[in-house]
Structure 1
Amino acid sequence: MKKILPFFSYLFHPIFIPLLGCLVYIAFSERFYSQEQYFLLLFQVVIITFFLPLSFFYLLRTFGKVDSIMMSEVQQRKIPLVMQMVLTYILIQKSITIERFPELYFFFLGGFVSTFIVFLLLYIRFKASIHMVAISALTFFVIGLSVHFQINILYTIASLFLLSGLIASSRLYMKAHTSLELMVGYTCGVIPQVVFWYAWL
């Protein structure tokens, strides 16, 4: 089991979570939009939350600002987190607006707040786990969707909690974080999502 634990850190890297959130929303929503609109939504999310950050990462790596996609050092995280906040802001202002996709809007807004909290923690040299921020935000977004659309997706939610444990174990096994950093990261992901439930549930 220990040999495959690092696999979960890469497979469920935070860069994939925005796309997973959109796919879950499309799968469980009541299909208010056409297939073309959903395709455009996914296209925009992939460009803004995956390809642009990945391109920016390779640029930073070229200039020696980061050593790997896991960004193990505190100082390495500041610029990528600022970029993530900027891109998320653009996404919820221009594409995933509150008028068009209110559920997704608050998911991404919660992600923006979580990222800002993690960014502030860097100034006290505390490296909260971004992996745990991402998977916990996704988990509680799915719980919100279950309540909002009145659907029974208990197995999906249970699977996400199981994944949270596997990802946490992976990060510990790789010595990327302490238990406290994992717990703080999970909390940073949960709280904004739960707070914003009151706006869309």
Structure 2
Amino acid sequence: MKIYVKNMVCPRCIMAVETILKTLQIDYKNVSLGEIELNSQPDNSDVTKLSDQLQEIGFEVIDDKKHQLIERIKNYIIQFIHHDKEMLKINLSDFLSEVLGYEYNYLSNLFSEVEGTTIEKYVILQKIEKVKELIVYDELSLKEIAHQLGYSSVAYLSNQFKKVTGLTPSHFKTIGQQKRIPLDHL
């Protein structure tokens, strides 16, 4: 059995959910971004306790099938951009279609209908947040960041960055952390 969870965006989120599952003594197989895979069907009181504890730390159990699919799309995009550099080398639309088992056109239309924005715009927002993170870390040049995130040039990255944030990457670097947006708020 799978339980879908909204707002899980990082490995720390996974650890927090695992801690809750262990505390509640709910037998689980795996926890990944946005998903809890259980070994067996828990009783209703355990599900209620789990849902309540997840809400206390900013997560939400998703019951609706459409919203579950949207959350899976978001989590794959977050994984794609923030946690696995190798994934950026593959075509996102083909990847999403393959792992989710739906035509990309359907996924794209559903995402737009439910979220009020396109998958492409969501990807851009995620990429810009990753750029912000990398700029704040100050370990890579803008050219290296552009290459790492699959931008064709520094100029293209800079133009997209300015369009989204209203700032150039160099200006952002001077003001730093205060302009970052938590991933679950995108």
TM-score, normalised to structure 1's length?
0.29
The structure carrying a bigger strand percent of its residues is 2
More helix by share: 1
User: Rg bigger for which structure?
Assistant: 2
State the structure with bigger RCO (CA 8 A, min sep 6), 1 or 2: 1
What TM-score comes out, normalization by structure 2 length? 0.30
